Chain A
């Protein structure tokens, strides 16, 4: 099993979103673009927030957009979208959100370990503002603790 990938085409910088829906849709589009998911997954990520509220905003400025595994998940993966202007999700403490991390997994149990690795990245309080301010995708991969793709074996 390999860790959840964050390919360069799953990273979008300075996206213009007027609403949280547009921001989450962009994170879903990025997952789709990278080949991790089909379009239905994006709609399901939005439905999770419609159903349960803004709990996906798990830290100041950061939303972890996700849904359950499903047939629309081709392979597990991550996406990162940074916003030109932060948007409100309706969270009482952590709004506004400038960074959306999209997460897709094929099997909850198998991937808990890799999801938990996100904690190792974001437990550093400097990382969210640094990702929000990053101007290129390689810098975001690096902040997420991922190596240069050119140096990774295929």
Chain B
């Protein structure tokens, strides 16, 4: 399974979201590849992704996708990530 995390410029916030998404997936015992990308790269990176994680501010930039788009409010809240990933994947 492939999960894409997206931020505006692909530096910083997506790295934080990636590490915490991996922590949440580990708690859920879900094996997935988590890839960080930016607004410019999300269409390509998201083609074969099951889930795209991002901020509410960036959802509109994703365009059409077959992936579940999950909005994360607090990038440091692994409980929030876990609950939202479980709802989407469980």
Contact = CB atoms under 8 A, between A and B. Distances in A.
Contacts of A51: 8
A105 B76 contact: no
A94 interface: yes
Nearest to B38: A68
Q: How large is the interface on B (under 10, 10 to 19, 20 to 34, 35 or more residues)?
A: 20 to 34
Interface string A50-76: 011111101110001011110000000
Interface in A67-119: 67-69, 91-94, 103, 105, 108, 111-112, 115-116, 118-119
Contact of A69 (B11, B61, B76, B77): B11
Interface stretch (B15-23, B25-33, B44-52): B15-23
Contacts of B16: 58, 64, 115-116, 118-119, 122
A59 B56 contact: no
A123 interface: yes
Interface in B30-63: 36, 39, 54-58, 61
Range of interface residues on A (Cβ < 8 Å): 20 to 34
A103 B20 contact: no
20 contacts: A51-B8, A52-B8, A52-B58, A53-B55, A53-B57, A55-B8, A55-B54, A55-B58, A56-B13, A58-B13, A58-B16, A58-B55, A64-B13, A66-B13, A67-B9, A67-B11, A93-B56, A105-B12, A116-B19, A123-B20
Given A64-B12, A91-B56, 6 more contacts: A52-B8, A56-B8, A58-B16, A58-B74, A64-B16, A67-B9
